[in-house]
Structure 1
């Protein structure tokens, strides 16, 4: 079963990679198994997803002209 184990470092790499592209099915499965067994990586994934949503909102922000 060692084949299906990845390190937290590899998990972090995959978590950030999935923001840019869809991961292959096997990779998604291995990542999901790691996230189910690890305490820290799901927290990291939530933080990354929060930052990604915040950046999307920031990119969509349009500054309004000041009332003079």
Structure 2
């Protein structure tokens, strides 16, 4: 049985690269039994999605505000 620490590592890794078959299978099994890790996985996905929606134009606006 995978420990939560390893599951969290795989969830983070999943944001950077596709997991190998064995990694996906182990993580899926762990998530089926661990509610805390399911919530953590949901939060990782939410943060990843939020980071993708940040537009380059908003970076310029943020810098202009901090310079004032």
**Equivalent residue for 1:62, pick from 50, 54, 57:** 57
Residue 10 (str. 1) matches residue 12 (str. 2): no
**Which residue of 1 is the match for residue 17 of structure 2?**
21
The count of residues paired between Structure 1 and Structure 2 equals 60
Residue 40 (str. 1) matches residue 36 (str. 2): yes
Give the TM-score of the pair, scaled to structure 1: 0.80
Q: Which runs of 5 or more structure 1 residues have no equivalent in the other structure? A: none
Q: Which runs of 5 or more structure 2 residues have no equivalent in the other structure? A: 62-68
Deviation at 1:62, TM superposition (A): 1.7
**Larger helix proportion of the pair:** 2
